[in-house]
Structure 1
Amino acid sequence: IGAQLVLALNHLHDNGVVHRCLNPELASLDWRGRVRITDLSTCKQKGCAFELDVIKRLKYPFIAPEILKGEVYEPASDWWSLGCCLYQMLTGKALLSQHDSIDSLIKDISKDNCKEAIEETGIKSIKEHPFFGGIDWQKLATDESVGTIQMDLSYSIWSAEQTKIEGVLGPDYGAKYANCHIIQHKKTGEEGVMKLVWKAEMRKTNSGWKRVMNERLAWQKVSGHQYTAGLKGFFETEAAYCFVSEHIRDAVSLSVVIKSAPLPTEVVKYLAGQLAIAVNHMHARGVLHRSLSPECIFIEKCGRLRLCDFESAKLCEFSCHPFGDCSYLAPEIIQGKEYGKEADWWAVGVILVEMLLGNTPLDIFCDKRQITDDCDIDTELLLRVTESIPKMLTNIESIGAQNLLKQLLVANPEQRLGFKRNAYNEIKSHQFFKGLLWPKLESPETEL
């Protein structure tokens, strides 16, 4: 594990980047023993100083002394973090756990007689250290079965200086995208859509800046698929974080389309098939959306569905934080329990109900005044809603759709269609999708 982390950090350093806060929470280990650094939100170009208010939000036992003292940091700072990770793996304790607050830690480190814990050293001397004796570095760096580190550190051509604002998105995109701008690259003439996330809003919560980085990483992971909007670039200004995505012309938000509900069953089947492919693609790339709703989905003029918003998405298998519109959240999310991919399939079921009936189950059975902005729904009310779903589904003409939704909208996540590893194949083979040409929908070359 340590050797793989060495290769990962060296890859960052070769690209002129210092991680600054490598710790066990920001890396994952798969069943084959492959290590991945899953969070790059603390990365910065080398040769900068670290702001104290940023330090206090991070895992300070893993931050090098020179960073805590506000000095310029270099790649050697990451080797300190590596040492702390190795120490914790070998002993089960954090190296600096005796400091009960960051203030006392900074005070101790700032003493004149503070001894440097690590010297600036190159990758060669680290590889040659006796601790890594027996490691075949060449094989480790090239053999995928051993655990190659792969991270996308490509930098976009988009920047504030090269961006020209052409206009705003029209009403067909939905109210959620009112502050998104149609832009053009000044040099290449390439068009895109710029989404602004205001830093002032992010500072209101401790996790605001991290959510932006989660969105960026998750969006990068799922880009390049026929049913997702591609992320072209990301940059920041003094006031905002800026996401640049492809401009999907002649598209309309599914939330606008649903105003004409109930939609024909064949149309719902066609859109649901594409949505299932998109959700399966996300899960295959290790991404939970956590907040699927019609506002996240656009329909092109040709009928192609596109997922366009990953604000709540995260690279993880499980989570316990509620995000999004309560009408589409699975019961386990509302109750504050741990949830996984099956929560996204619940949201798919709710979207299907809305396309077929015009409302979500929560909208049908609840007074809007009973639902707060933070999804604080009474447990008894939630139970009544979930128990009423089978009766509500009898209003749907298609027996196949009723059966599919009864399996998707199950309160117990372990009994829900979508809980098993082969959830996507089970959904594809369901009778509701009989006659749907899955190979055609799954092929990226298919013209819809």
Structure 2
Amino acid sequence: MQEIDDENETNTSEENGRPLCSSALKDFDFLRVLGRGSYGKVLLARRKTTDHLYAMKVVRKEDENLIRLQVEKQILEKSLNHPYLVGLHSCIETPTRFFFILDYISGGDLTYHLQQFRIFPEAHVRFYSGEISLAIKFLHEHEILHRDLKLENLLLDADGHIKITDYDLCKAGLKAGEKTNTFCGTLSYLAPEIIRGKSYGFSVDWWNLGTVMFEMMVGEPPYPFADSPKNSDLNTYKVLQSMLEREVHLPHHLSVEARSILKGLLKKEPEVRLGCHPQRGFIDIEEHPFFNNLDWNMMEKKQVPPPFKPSIGTEFGIENFDPEFTNEPVQLTPDDSYFVNSVDEFGL
């Protein structure tokens, strides 16, 4: 899926350069490549002194805005102790890169598991969307708009609980009722207010939740984009217009409750979208009939048993990641292996 970001920020931030501990890249063994994107790559790393596994996100400085990196780091720090958000344990800086040392979530993403299931049973969707909703609520309460909730950013831990990752497009410091206007996100998940070029707030995350739930129950997004490059610009325009003008088609196999919550989350006008009422907000989601049998208090404590437990083999669970990446050789640029400017450590 194509990801877009038109936010233009040219300021840079200044690192304090003061090491907080003696930890460095030499303290880790690098085992596998887990993923790769425009930002850089994610490695599976093992801390030599403890054998603990981490996901190490390697980000090139020249390709990233330093202010955005600082924002991502701050969000990762806040997320460390939330049960359904990937958190930051340490950040290592070299002359050319940042290394974010994150929770390693070995169960793979929901894109991978949906390919195996084709569609998820509604009980699975109720569980996953409940945990996702609590994570969204936490982010919003901490003035963070995610803006890129999608299946590939929704991971399962070894027990089958959700972990949201990838804060590249997050907007921090957004208070309730405030809005921003950056055109960014993943095409199939763009909320109508973003497509129209209007200012928007937390409403877009609830639209994303609706899109994710639809995809889990139907097997494709409500407004899918063709992968073919032929006439791609024209096709993109047509799909975006369809997202603005055409109501979502809800298959008959969905329950009444599922159809109702999807209609509510996929309202084109954010003022009437489920979860967006200025006073009730998240209460409307908690009290929706789709979640009637869900114990929200237990879920907040991570005490609701998952409906599915990923298969974790002897090779660190890498069977749940794309072999296109895991079969790559693990390589670090020579300067990054020896010259560490600073380290911030939170939970190693």
User: Would the TM-score normalized by the shorter structure come out above 0.5?
Assistant: yes
Aligned pair in 2 of structure 1 residues 447, 412: CA closer, same or farther (>3 Å)? closer
Matches of 2:231 and 2:151 in 1, distance apart?
Answer: 22
Give 2:294's aligned residue: 436
Return the letter of the residue paired with 1:354. Answer: E
Equivalent positions of 1:101-112 (< 5 A) are none
Q: 2:221 aligns with which of 331, 345, 360?
A: 360
Equivalent positions of 1:231-380 (< 5 A) are 231-249=88-106, 251-259=107-115, 260-317=117-174, 318-363=179-224, 372=233, 378=237
Aligned residues: 290
Return the letter of the residue paired with 1:407. Answer: G
Matches of 1:219 and 1:201 in 2, distance apart?
Answer: 20
SS in 2 for 1:45: coil
Return the letter of the residue paired with 1:426. Answer: D
Aligned pair in 2 of structure 1 residues 343, 369: CA closer, same or farther (>3 Å)? farther
Matches of 1:332 and 1:231 in 2, distance apart?
Answer: 32
Q: Deviations over 1:366-387 (max 9, x none)?
A: 9875665xx9954x75343344
Aligned pair in 2 of structure 1 residues 160, 302: CA closer, same or farther (>3 Å)? closer
1:44 equivalent to 2:15? Answer yes
SS in 1 for 2:30: strand
Give 2:33's aligned residue: 168
Is residue 182–residue 192 contact of structure 1 (8 Å, CA) maintained in 2?
A: yes
1:424 equivalent to 2:293? Answer no
Matches of 2:25 and 2:89 in 1, distance apart?
Answer: 14
In the TM superposition, residue 364 of structure 1 has moved relative to its aligned partner by 6.9
Aligned pair in 2 of structure 1 residues 179, 362: CA closer, same or farther (>3 Å)? same
1:201 equivalent to 2:59? Answer no
Matches of 2:227 and 2:255 in 1, distance apart?
Answer: 25
SS in 1 for 2:46: strand
Gaps of 5+ in 1: 1-39, 48-153, 203-207
SS in 1 for 2:100: strand
In the TM superposition, residue 211 of structure 1 has moved relative to its aligned partner by 1.9
* TM norm structure 1: 0.58
Return the letter of the residue paired with 1:258. Answer: L
Equivalent positions of 1:53-92 (< 5 A) are none
In the TM superposition, residue 285 of structure 1 has moved relative to its aligned partner by 1.2
Percent pairwise identity: 26
In the TM superposition, residue 445 of structure 1 has moved relative to its aligned partner by 5.9
Is residue 341–residue 419 contact of structure 1 (8 Å, CA) maintained in 2?
A: yes
* TM norm structure 2: 0.74
Q: 2:46 aligns with which of 174, 184, 187?
A: 184
Return the letter of the residue paired with 2:145. Answer: L
Aligned pair in 2 of structure 1 residues 370, 327: CA closer, same or farther (>3 Å)? farther
Is residue 222–residue 285 contact of structure 1 (8 Å, CA) maintained in 2?
A: no
Gaps of 5+ in 2: 1-10, 307-348
In the TM superposition, residue 399 of structure 1 has moved relative to its aligned partner by 1.0
Matches of 1:288 and 1:295 in 2, distance apart?
Answer: 18
Structure with more of its chain in helix, by fraction: 1
Matches of 2:61 and 2:53 in 1, distance apart?
Answer: 25
Aligned pair in 2 of structure 1 residues 438, 46: CA closer, same or farther (>3 Å)? closer
Q: Deviations over 1:320-368 (max 9, x none)?
A: 1122311111111223221111100000000001001111122179987
Return the letter of the residue paired with 2:189. Answer: Y
Aligned pair in 2 of structure 1 residues 274, 235: CA closer, same or farther (>3 Å)? same
Structure with more of its chain in strand, by fraction: 2
Is residue 298–residue 306 contact of structure 1 (8 Å, CA) maintained in 2?
A: yes
Is residue 40–residue 57 contact of structure 2 (8 Å, CA) maintained in 1?
A: no
In the TM superposition, residue 176 of structure 1 has moved relative to its aligned partner by 9.0
Which of structures 1 and 2 has the bigger CA Rg? 1
In the TM superposition, residue 431 of structure 1 has moved relative to its aligned partner by 0.6
Matches of 2:12 and 2:20 in 1, distance apart?
Answer: 14
| Runs of 4+ off more than 4 Å | 154-158, 173-178, 364-372, 444-448
